[in-house]
Structures are given as C-alpha cells and as structure tokens.
A and B are shown apart, each in its own frame.
Chain A
Amino acid sequence: MATLYEGYTLCGLVKSPNSLDSGIHGIELESDNDHVVVTDSTRSVTLYKLSDQKPLGTWTVKQGQSLSCPAVYNAGTKEYVTVSDGKVIRVWQAGDLLLDKAFKATLSSTVWRVHCVPGGAELYVLFSRGAVRLLDALLAAPQQPIEEVLGQEEAIRWSAGIAAETQHFVVFTTEQKGSHFLYVQRLKPNSVQKFCLEPEDVGLAPLSYSACYRDGHISLLYLYPNGHVYKSVVSVRSPPLEEVGEAVPLPRTQLLCLPVGETLLEAASALFLDDDHIAVVGAPHPAAGTGTNFLCIWNTNFQTLQAGKEMAGKLYGQLWSYASKLFIPHGKSLTVIPYECPKSSLASALGKLKHAGAKVSRVPACVPSWSAVFNGETAMQSEPMETSQSNAQHSQSSSDGPVNQVLDLIKTATVEVIRKEVEAVLSQADIQGLQPWLGQLAGSLVSRSMADPTFYTPSTLATLVGTRCLCHSVCPELLMLALEKRDYSLVQLCLQSFPDVPENITCCCLKTFLSVPDGDVETASLEPGSLSFMETLTAQERGTKLNGFSAAGGEHHHHHPERTSGLLVHTCPVGVHKAVLLNEVLQTPYSDTFLLPHLKDLSPQQVMLFLQYLQFLYFNYSEDSFEQEDKSRAPTLTQILDWVCLLLDAHFTVLVMTPEARGLLVNLHSFVKYQVRFVSELGKLEGSLQELQHMREEKHIGQYSIQVITLF
C-alpha cells in the first residue's frame, strides 16, 4: 500500500486574501533532491533546503516587473533561469545577490515557459506561440525571429520537458475553440507531432495534465472536472512528421473515475507517481463525503485508493512531485508530504496477502511488481531496479559490495562456501535493506542448481526462505526445484512463507505429496510445530481405539449404514509426515476459479486418498474432545470444508462412478447432514438464550405505568 507520511510546512503563501490562485508559480528541483526552487507569482524566486525546511536564498525582481515563468535550474551550468515580463530572460548564479545585476536578454517574442529536461544539461524555451528553442541558441541571438506554430486563438495550457532514453521532448497542450491538442516537440532533430484529444462532455476542459516517459512511450495523464482520469500514450519511436499537419486523434484509456458526487471539480490535479500510482488533489475522498480537501493516492491498475490525507484550508489544484515528496499549496502554506508507493501486486490487491498476516506489514516491498513479472523481465534483474528509491539507495550504500561478491561466488563456489558467505551477508546487514538482493541470491542459486544437477544447497535456500523476505514471484523456480529434489522440508517452508504460490504449483505439490510413498517423507525434517499437531491428532485416534470404543463413533453409529467406512473415519489414511505436508497445502491461499481446473488433474486414487484424509480431519475436528493447541500450524475447519467442496466439485462425476468412493461419500453426507441439523438446533438455542438475556434487562419504570400481573 502506498503511504502518505506526516508532512511539514515549507513556507507560507504570499497571496492576496480570497484569491483563487495559490501564489505559487512553480516549483523546480535544484541541484539535488534536497533543494527546490520556488517561484511565486509576484516577483521572487526562493531556494529552499528541504531537509532543513528553510530558505537558503531569495531573488526578487524590481517593483513593477513580474516573473512570468517559474525559475528553473540548469544543473549543467549551475545557473538559474527565469523570464520576467514575458520577454526578458534572466540568468544568474547562486552567488548573485541581486537579480537586477544579473544577466538579462530581451527576446522578440513572449516566452511561455523555460523547461529543463530531467537529467539533461540543456534548457529549452517554449514560446507562447508554440515555437521551441534551445536556450543557448537563443541567448546567442536574442532578437532572432520566432515562428508561429499555433493557429489563431490557440493558446498553450500546459507544458513539460521530458527526457526519453537519448531524446529530449517538450510536450505541451493547447486549447483552440474548445478543442484540446497535444504537441510533442522532439528536439535535436527537431520535429513536432500534433494530436487531438478526444472530446469529453461538452464544455469540459481538462483541469490538469501530467506527463512522463516510460518504456518508449510518453504517457499523458489528464483529469476532467467530472472526475474522469485518462491516460494517452504517444510512442517516441513513431516516425517524426516533417511539419505540423493535421492533428492525429489521440486514443485514450480511462484510468480512473473519481467519485465526485453531483458537482464538478473546480481546482484539482492528477500527477503520475509511478507506473501504477497517481496522486490526485482536490477530489473528494470516497469515504468522507463530498469535501474536496483531500490528497489521495490511487492505484490505477486496480482502481483502488491507496492512501488519503485531508488538507487543511483551500486547495488550489496545484501539485508537484519530486524525489518521493509531494508539494501541495493549501490554505496559507505550502506543505511537503513524503510518500511511498511500493510496487503493487495482484496478491496484495486481491487480499491474498491477508493470509500472511503480520508478514505483509513487516516487509511491504517483498512482492514483486505484477507488471514486471508480466513484461517477462526476470525477477532477479528487475527486482533491485524496481524497488522504491529509498530502498535502493539504502541497499546500495550498505550492502552492495558483499552481495555482489556472493553473487559472483554462487556461480562457482562449493555448497559449503556459499552457505557460509550467505550467512555472513545475512548476519551483518539488516534484512529490510537486503530484500532486493535476497531474491537475486535465491534466483542465482536456483538457476545454478537447475543447470548443474549435482549442485544443490538446501540449507542456504532454507535460510533465505526463512528470512520471509522471499516470495514465489521473486524466484518462481525455487518451489519446483525443491519438489524435484524431494526436499520436503524446504517445500513446507516455502508453502508456509510464500504468500503468492500460484494454484497450479499448489496443485503440483498436492499431487506429489499424495503420490509419494510414506517412507520417503518420513526422513524429511519437517517443522516441529506442525508435526506435533499431527501427532496429537493421531494419538487421540489411537487412544480411543485402546479404550475399545469411541464416544463419537457410538454416537454416529446409526448415521453410518456402512461400518467399513465408519472405521476409516478415525484412522488417519496417511502417515504423519505426509499429513503435515498436506496440511500445508490446505493452508495455502488460493482462488477457487484458478484451482479447480488444476484439481481435475488428480487421479481418482489420489482424490480418494485426499478425501479420506480430509474426512479424517473433519471428523476429528468435529469431536468435542478435540482441542487445538497450536492453531497456527493447523488448517481451520473452514479450510478443510472448502477443500472437500472443491475436490467434490472437481471430481464428482468420477467419484459417483467409483464404487470404492460410495461409502466415503455416504459417510460424509450423513455426517454433514447431522452437523447441519446440530447447528440449526444450536441456532434455535441461541435464539432462546438471547431471549433470556433480553428478559434480564432492567426496565426503566417511569412515574406512572399500567402493568398486568398474575398471581397464582
């Protein structure tokens, strides 16, 4: 889940009261992530240090002049650039105390914005009439003629500079007579593409735009007052057009439909945070009525609200995001809110992680990006790249070195050496920071094991899985490898700690467990808690046998017409070790829809055995003498019943036609019927008991009442 942390106020807003404008013209990143340049809408540019929350310097233009463009910082030349009064470019350095004494050049045409491209050392000037020039080229000849790109009555609404691999772009949107266009200006070589945005409802103009470059595409995000958030994608590789021709219609996909209620949004803004998350400001929180003073983070893959925060005071529909921090002017101040958007996964979105309980909160970033898995990138390569910036930074600084050494070692060293090295790495660094590397370690271990049949490191893998920082998606081959190597203790460990084992793998495990001879399993050193649970369960069964009769058996006697199957009920059909493994399967999270087709692969013998085992568990659970000591290692009654249902669903036709299954089915049926009746009786009892409680209630007696009493 994305998180919004506690924010802090960077500065107050300089603005006239009741103004609709926040008074902030723009915020740009300075040399590093800790400095920002804030341009206010009047005359001054201020440099702030974020970690200290204090201004480092302010530059102001003369009275009467005004800044028409947010100041940008050119990292290449370490200069600040802004435009005053539309045409005067001003360039200065941090050391300059007075802006008026700094360099200025008057241009021949009005400037819309100066853009710096992230990571680039060059600045581009976007003129109000749509032309784009390199700043350096412009300063060489300030009075050069500027062409008009835009048509009549066409005006720029928004613009941004974008860096894509090797190319730089300036993108901007325009409005002309109610139509909205997107221009993608490619620089060096210069070319421009014009797109026409699909019209939304009549009269609705996008409230905000946001653009970013991803996977060879420029994504444009725009928000309409009716709460619809669209994304359009422009390929950067598409052949550049020679000149601005007819606008190409730009296809769009709706990412979100924000709940806005009856009214239209007035001042709102949507911003890309990463692939899956957008920040929206000025739209209502779905759980908090119609107030729009909220900053929310939405997951666009699953259309889920990830985090929300109510902001005090009026929002101006302005929002910037740099270095995992959101900058939001509201009320009378500019607040900085750090955020975190861990990679979302289907597992977390569908609530599969729920089963893992505490694990989720402990290691929020352990599940890999769903998109990353689907894009076919190998987990071990993508994982370190994809983790959020802070984590990556952290691990790079702390344990980059040793882990890389271990990775190299894995390719060649012996089992014992690897084990020692891995343990050393794990012991010295904190697990949280190591997370991305653990997947890599496990991945390379698995791939070497697969490549080299003689190489297998069960203890090292067990240690890695035991950190609980791994999941199936990180190294999909691990579980299959363990099955192949018949390393049942590792399989158990994986089943216990992986929150996202796919259904087909679960089914694979089940199949293996059912078909493996008991003798093979008994040697496996399984987790003692789960073993002791099964041992108590089977010991109970033996105990009742010794006594010669079982209370439950006698009770059920007339319900079971077939004595032979009745005997089965209290005998565990599988060995203790096997039962433990089956229990792990029972406790694995799954979805019925996905599991059902795979269940059909089981052979009738396997189904019979499994069903018998489930029946054994079910009957034992239903006995009143049964007490679960350690609930964490035991499947719940619901899980057992769900599996019985699934198994019957998958194999009903086969089971009906198998004569051996008949007794089992009849037995189950009568027992379930008996239980249903019992529960319904309990329900009635509950009703009467509640009535009893009701009667106990002390009635309030007023000053006067008329009652009816009986004397006998």
Chain B
Amino acid sequence: MGEFKVHRVRFFDYMPSAIRAMAFNVHTERLAVARVDGTVEVFNIADNCFQEKVIPGQDGRTIEALCWAGGRLFSTGLNGEMVEYDLENLRAKYTVEVYGGPAWTISSNSQGTHLAVGCEDGTVKIFELLEDTVQFQKNLDRLKNRVLSLSWHPSGTQIAAGTLDMIRVFNVNSGHATERMMVDRAAGASKKEEVLVWGVVFLSDNTIISGDSAGKVQVWDSKMGTLIRTHLVTKWDVMALSVSQDESSLLAGTSEGSVVQFQFLSANLDQPDREWVRTRTLRSHSHDVRALVHTETAAISGGIDTQLVVRPFREKVVQSSKESAPRKITFPHRSLVSCAKKAGILLFQFPERLELWRLGESQGNGRPGEELSVKRKPEALIHLKRKGDDHICCSALSLCGGWLAYASVSSVRLYRLQYDDDGITIAKVKLPKVLRWANQLCFSADSSRLFASFSQSSVLVFALGQSEAKYVHTLKPKSVSRQAVHLMSASDDGKWLATANSDCEVHVYNLSKLKYHCTVPVYSSCPSAMAIHPTGSNLVMVHADQQIFEYSLVQKEYTEWSRTLQRIGLHSSWLNRATPVTHVSFSTRNPDHIILHDMDMFCIVDKSLPLPEKDSDLYNQKQLCSMTEKARIKDSHAFKICESFKNLLCVGLLEDHSLVVVERPLLDITTRLPAPVRQKKFAT
C-alpha cells in the first residue's frame, strides 16, 4: 500500500452543544434530540441510531421540551413559543405563541389529538391538533407556580402536572384540579428552597411517579393523593424520568450523571402485589442527565456532557450482538469539514461561523512513524461570521479553494476567494432569488457550477461567473419521496451528480445532459456517505448498517466487486463498528483504492486484493508490520485499517497524495464543559 504523509489537524475547535430534551416516537422508532443551541436532531434507532435529520437551530430559540404527536414533532421553549417542525424540509414549520410566559414542558396524549403545554404563569394550556396547525382549546385551572412537568394519563382524561412543592392532577374535560400532592422539601440547609418537580409520569393504573430537585423519586396514588413510596436517589436533582411502553420499568436521570432504573416487581414470587423497586444504576455521563428515553431495549440518555448514550438492557437483547453494545454518539453523522484537495485548504463549519485554514508544509521526507518538522505552519485564512439568526446548516468549498458557499434555512451565500502572496480576498457573489435556502451544497470538480439541493430532493444548478451565479436548471428525481437530501456528490469528471435522502433513495443525474439518470435500488439502511469514482463512473455508497455498495452508473447495476462483497459478506468486525462511515474518497494514483473513515479509524479499501476471511483479523496492520515482505502478501486483505488516529471528523486525500486527518480529541471537549456536580473521587 505504501507510505502516506499525514497532516494531523487538531485545530478544528468543534464543540457540540449540550442535550436538553428528547422525545421518542415508538411507532416510527425515531428519536428527536434537542440541544441547548436550538438544534433538533432525528435519529433512526432502528437503523443503527443513524442521525437522519438535523434541523439547525436559531439564535433566540431555546428548547425546553420536545414531543411527538403522531408523526409530528413539537417543541416548546423559554421564549414562550411552541414550534412544529417540518421534517421534510428540515426547518421550523410554524411557531405559535403560547401566551403563558416561558413554556417549560409539552406533552401529547396517547391518542395524538391534543397537546398540553405547561407555562411559567402556572397555566396548563390544551391545544388541539389540526391538519396543518394547532389550535388553542382551553386553560386548565391556574396554579400558583410555574408548571415544570406534565404527563397525560393514557386514557387522555387526566393530566398530572409537576410544579413547585407539589403535583396537581387535573381532569382534562372539566379543567379542574382533582388532587393535590405535596412534595417534601430536602432536609437540612436547603429546607427553605422550594422543591422543583422536574418530572412526572402518569401510569395507566393511576400511579404517578415524580422526580424532584431534592433527589427523590416518589410513587403516588393519584386517586387518593397519597404517597406510596419514596426512593432517595441522589443528593442532587432528579432531572428526567422515562417509563417503558409496558409501564414495567422506569428510568430516572440525576444531576450526578447516573441513570437509575426502577422496575415494577412483586416482592415475593407468589404474591400478586407489585411495587416499584430500584434495580440498577447506569453511569454513562460525567454531567447532569437532562433527557431520558426508555425504549423497548435500551436506555437512551443525554445531558450536559453532549453525548447521546444508548445503553441496551442486557435482558432485552441478544448477548454479544450488535444491539447489545452500548453506543456513544458524540460527533454528528455528517461532515463538518470540507477539503479543497487541489489547494490544501480546509473549511470548518460551526453553527455561527466558518473557518478557512491553509495546511502547513513539511520539510523533506521521513521514515514511517516519524514526525516531520513543519516548515510552514497552518494558517487561518478567513473567519466568516454568518448573517442572520439561523444557524449554518451546510457549507461547501470548491476543490480549487476558489469558491465558498454556505446555507441556512433562510439564506444561501456564495463567495469568491482569491489568493495572492500576501493574503486572501473574499468577494460575495450574487445568487439568483430562486435559491432561498438549501439542504446541501456542492461544487462541481472544475468549479464551474454550484449544486444546491432544494425541497423534495430537487437540485438547482447554477453556473458560476466572476460577479454572479446564473440559474441553469433544476434537476428533479422521478420519485415520490419528499424527504430532504442529506448527501450530495458530484463526480470529478463532471459527468455525474448523486443525491441521497433519508428515505434511503439515491438519485443520479447526468450533468452533461442535465437530466435525471437513474435511481439506485433502494436499500433498507440510510446511506451515510457516498462518492462517485473520478474515472470509473462507479458510485460507492456506505450505509448506516456499514454495508458498502458499488454501483456502475453506466451499466445501471451493481459492479462485480460489489456483488462479490455482498456474496462473501463483510467481515463481522467491520459490521460491528459503532460509528457510521462519514466520508468516501478515492485515490488519484490507484483507481482501486477507496478511502473511508468513521470516528475511530480510517480505511483504505484495495479492490484488487482479496476480501478478508471470516475468521481472520480485520484489524491486521500491526501484525503485517512485523512480518516479512512475502508473508505480508499472503496475509494482507482488501481492508487496510489505520487506527492511529482517533475521534476523526474528516479524512481526506490531497492532490499530492498526502492525507489530511482532522481530529477532535474528546478530552478537549470535556475540558470545555462546566464543572460536574459530582467529582470522581478515588475509590468511590
């Protein structure tokens, strides 16, 4: 395979935002995650927890709670608005003023007909779901304090509301409170502080379970308004509660980063009386757990430490299968880095700005394993702040580095970059009005065209000129899907453009004829990365379930290699990797080489070599290293996996055949987090 010079870049200062709220749609198995910066992400739990959709945030929009109602996603925030999201075009569909001050919580009934919103002014407002909008129906009896948590009884006739120092139960029809349950304050010094009921869960047997700021999980009988049982879980707050669909298990997330599970069990085998028993403690977080979801098989938690953690329950999954492995999702499943491989320039995308860096140069050559002396240091060229309140959702840099474009849900901007000896000049280039927003942006390899994916998977084509870009054409797929494009790739030879959407459709357009070419047979898993081979007109796709396909665009069929790969099957170690491949690129020197990377490794697939045997070691670089030349040939296989670099955000190959590796060490992220409530002490 040979030697590579690697630019190891660690100056991408990417900082994920803390997780604030989560909602799980049992029917579609989609998990919606809201972050503190207002971003909403949708994960497909059934498809390897792939991050299907990202709805960019907006300055000033904060999300306190999320909820699914049928297939619709709603959120409320401290700005006092309720937002419904357009999951097809990845933007807020509309916002409704709640008129109750900051809205702390939102909950929908199990029938999916009504929403309840808890407000700062102590009201619980009931909204009726209409076809395309929501309509305010009524206020329940006003409470003295803010409503922090809400839970509908499965029958839809009652609502439990958690507020300061108490839990109230309302009859939805009459709007009157039926029960009042006082929650004890914490003992000791914090006795004077009101206790905040951060979470309530209303079960079908009329049991209410609450979690509060005094660290208690309490079980109540809502009919009598009596306390059944108190579990003191933590010294700090219990911030989130989540109950399983069958109401037999409950999770409580605490400020010290642990998740405590309770199960509804009978104390004695032969007795029918069951009670809530604390069963296990999961420790996956260093900071507050702010959001929790109890799925059929796993506990999904997120909080201030920004990671989404999926911890499968051992008894619910097959041991040592892919589902049984705990998962931590730290980085987004899409690329935040664009690499101009001809110019050696990197573009880093942040929600509020773009950074353009020129890579450094090394002095001379070195032996493998060596670090070369840096002749020229990397240089920050541009620090481009976005315009407007909407966060940047996508960005693109042309291969020559001469063009830069970014888009938010409200605007698309294009810039012409010119480099000279003493710096860089940036000029804004006008785009036609037709392009108001875009999901994905992409330049053609020769930097003459800009492609922007638009609503309903359509792609707008613009011709780039010195002063302005001219609208050329709209490419439309022959399909019924209305989903947004999340991947777009133009071929280096300028012939093809491929798009992928979250309905797993991959459409290919012929650019020379500017028309739809074909659709790749739809695979069950969403493509996580794809690219078109620069010479062979083959489309390589990697899916969220780690499958790799190569599709010949000319013959409109899978290539021989792809069929062989499917026939023999991928190595189990490859399939069991935890993070999806987020980049596909090709070697300019050897057409057989495909470069892939996920968060933990990068891999060069050599199509000319035999595929790894089932029982051989997939990660065999270390063994090969210590072998003789001859033995190496015998033992080497198509997957050359390099694990020297961790926490990868991007791996690209430059024109001069050197690799660019963008790392973001997790430690750097951790050090920027606020101090945790609970400090790890020795032997605790």
- Which positions in A face B, CB cutoff 8 Å? 699, 701-712
A709 to B378, CA, bound (A): 20
User: Could you list 6 further interchain pairs (A-B, Cβ under 8 angstroms) beyond the known A706-B8, A712-B624?
Assistant: A701-B8, A704-B11, A706-B371, A707-B5, A710-B369, A712-B632
A711 touching B2, Cβ below 8 Å: yes
A711 touching B369, Cβ below 8 Å: no
Q: A712-B1, A712-B621, A712-B632 are in contact. Are A707 and B8 (CB under 8 A)?
A: yes
Closest chain B CB from A558 CB (angstroms): 34
B7 touching A706, Cβ below 8 Å: yes
A704 touching B9, Cβ below 8 Å: yes
Is B367 interfacial (CB-CB < 8 Å)? yes
Per the 8 Å Cβ criterion, residues 355-384 of B in contact with A are 360, 362, 365-372, 374, 377-378
Closest chain B CB from A241 CB (angstroms): 85
A709 touching B10, Cβ below 8 Å: no
Quick one: which of B4, B627, B632 contacts A708, CB cutoff 8 A?
B4
A706 touching B374, Cβ below 8 Å: yes
- Identify 8 residue pairs between A and B in the complex whose beta-carbon atoms are under 8 Å apart, listed by A's number: A704-B377, A709-B4, A710-B2, A710-B4, A710-B369, A711-B1, A711-B640, A712-B636
A710 to B644, CA, bound (A): 11
What are the residues of chain A within 8 A of B673 when measuring CB–CB? none
Q: Which 9 residue pairs are nearest across A and B when measured between Cβ atoms?
A: A712-B624, A710-B368, A711-B1, A706-B362, A711-B640, A706-B372, A703-B11, A708-B366, A707-B6
B368 touching A709, Cβ below 8 Å: yes
Closest chain B CB from A524 CB (angstroms): 59
A708 touching B372, Cβ below 8 Å: yes
Closest chain B CB from A538 CB (angstroms): 49
Closest chain A CB from B130 CB (angstroms): 53
B2 touching A705, Cβ below 8 Å: no
Q: A709-B642, A712-B640 are in contact. Are A704 and B378 (CB under 8 A)?
A: yes
A703 to B3, CA, bound (A): 22
Is B625 interfacial (CB-CB < 8 Å)? yes
- Over the window 615-654 of chain B, the binary record of Cβ atoms lying under 8 Å from chain A Cβ atoms (1 yes, 0 no) is 0000001001101000010001000101010000000000
A710 to B642, CA, bound (A): 9
Per the 8 Å Cβ criterion, residues 5-26 of B in contact with A are 5-11
A706 touching B360, Cβ below 8 Å: yes
Quick one: which of B2, B360, B644 contacts A704, CB cutoff 8 A?
B360
What are the residues of chain B within 8 A of A699 when measuring CB–CB? 371
What are the residues of chain A within 8 A of B374 when measuring CB–CB? 704-706
A709 touching B6, Cβ below 8 Å: yes
A705 to B640, CA, bound (A): 22
What are the residues of chain A within 8 A of B368 when measuring CB–CB? 708-710
What are the residues of chain B within 8 A of A708 when measuring CB–CB? 3-6, 365-372
A699 to B360, CA, bound (A): 20
A712 to B621, CA, bound (A): 6
Is B208 interfacial (CB-CB < 8 Å)? no
Is B604 interfacial (CB-CB < 8 Å)? yes
Q: A701-B8, A712-B632 are in contact. Are A707 and B378 (CB under 8 A)?
A: no
A699 to B370, CA, bound (A): 11
A525 to B296, CA, bound (A): 85
A709 touching B632, Cβ below 8 Å: no
Per the 8 Å Cβ criterion, residues 370-414 of B in contact with A are 370-372, 374, 377-378
A711 touching B7, Cβ below 8 Å: no
Interface of A is mostly: strand
A701 to B636, CA, bound (A): 30
Considering only CB atoms, which chain A residue lies closest to B357 in the complex? A704
B370 touching A707, Cβ below 8 Å: yes
What are the residues of chain B within 8 A of A703 when measuring CB–CB? 9-11
B372 touching A709, Cβ below 8 Å: no
- Name which of A705, A706, A711 has the most chain B CB atoms within 10 A of its CB: A706
What are the residues of chain B within 8 A of A705 when measuring CB–CB? 8, 371-372, 374
What are the residues of chain A within 8 A of B632 when measuring CB–CB? 712
A223 to B11, CA, bound (A): 68
A708 to B7, CA, bound (A): 9
Quick one: which of A704, A706, A711 contacts B621, CB cutoff 8 A?
A711
B3 touching A709, Cβ below 8 Å: yes
- Name which of B8, B366, B368, B640 has the most chain A CB atoms within 10 A of its CB: B8
Q: A712-B1, A712-B636, A712-B640 are in contact. Are A707 and B371 (CB under 8 A)?
A: yes
A705 to B361, CA, bound (A): 10
A703 to B367, CA, bound (A): 21
A704 touching B1, Cβ below 8 Å: no
A701 to B9, CA, bound (A): 10
A703 to B359, CA, bound (A): 12
- Over the window 490-512 of chain B, the binary record of Cβ atoms lying under 8 Å from chain A Cβ atoms (1 yes, 0 no) is 00000000000000000000000
A109 to B6, CA, bound (A): 98
Q: A709-B369, A712-B624 are in contact. Are A704 and B7 (CB under 8 A)?
A: yes
A706 touching B6, Cβ below 8 Å: yes
Considering only CB atoms, which chain A residue lies closest to B372 in the complex? A706
Quick one: which of A702, A706, A707, A710 contacts B10, CB cutoff 8 A?
A702
What are the residues of chain B within 8 A of A712 when measuring CB–CB? 1, 621, 624-625, 627, 632, 636, 640
A705 to B369, CA, bound (A): 12
B3 touching A704, Cβ below 8 Å: no
Closest chain A CB from B659 CB (angstroms): 8
- Name which of B10, B604, B632 has the most chain A CB atoms within 10 A of its CB: B10
Considering only CB atoms, which chain A residue lies closest to B362 in the complex? A706
What are the residues of chain A within 8 A of B621 when measuring CB–CB? 711-712
Q: A709-B3, A710-B2 are in contact. Are A704 and B640 (CB under 8 A)?
A: no
A702 to B9, CA, bound (A): 9
Closest chain A CB from B648 CB (angstroms): 14
Considering only CB atoms, which chain A residue lies closest to B3 in the complex? A710
Closest chain A CB from B386 CB (angstroms): 24
Closest chain B CB from A360 CB (angstroms): 43
What are the residues of chain B within 8 A of A711 when measuring CB–CB? 1-2, 4, 604, 621, 640, 642
A30 to B255, CA, bound (A): 79
A706 to B9, CA, bound (A): 9
What are the residues of chain B within 8 A of A707 when measuring CB–CB? 5-6, 8, 369-372
A711 to B587, CA, bound (A): 14
Closest chain A CB from B13 CB (angstroms): 10
What are the residues of chain B within 8 A of A704 when measuring CB–CB? 7-11, 360, 374, 377-378
A461 to B595, CA, bound (A): 90
Considering only CB atoms, which chain B residue lies closest to A699 in the complex? B371
What are the residues of chain A within 8 A of B1 when measuring CB–CB? 710-712
A705 to B644, CA, bound (A): 14
A520 to B472, CA, bound (A): 120
What are the residues of chain B within 8 A of A710 when measuring CB–CB? 1-4, 368-369, 625
A59 to B116, CA, bound (A): 102
Closest chain A CB from B635 CB (angstroms): 9
A281 to B70, CA, bound (A): 96
Considering only CB atoms, which chain B residue lies closest to A712 in the complex? B624
Closest chain A CB from B352 CB (angstroms): 21
A705 to B6, CA, bound (A): 8
A707 to B644, CA, bound (A): 11
A706 touching B3, Cβ below 8 Å: no
Closest chain A CB from B569 CB (angstroms): 23
Q: A704-B7, A704-B374 are in contact. Are A709 and B644 (CB under 8 A)?
A: yes
What are the residues of chain B within 8 A of A701 when measuring CB–CB? 8, 10
Closest chain B CB from A707 CB (angstroms): 5
Closest chain B CB from A698 CB (angstroms): 13
What are the residues of chain A within 8 A of B625 when measuring CB–CB? 710, 712
What are the residues of chain B within 8 A of A706 when measuring CB–CB? 5-8, 360, 362, 371-372, 374
Closest chain A CB from B139 CB (angstroms): 55
Closest chain B CB from A508 CB (angstroms): 64
What are the residues of chain A within 8 A of B624 when measuring CB–CB? 712
Considering only CB atoms, which chain B residue lies closest to A708 in the complex? B366
A598 to B5, CA, bound (A): 72
A705 to B8, CA, bound (A): 5
A710 to B621, CA, bound (A): 9
- Over the window 198-219 of chain B, the binary record of Cβ atoms lying under 8 Å from chain A Cβ atoms (1 yes, 0 no) is 0000000000000000000000
- Over the window 507-531 of chain B, the binary record of Cβ atoms lying under 8 Å from chain A Cβ atoms (1 yes, 0 no) is 0000000000000000000000000
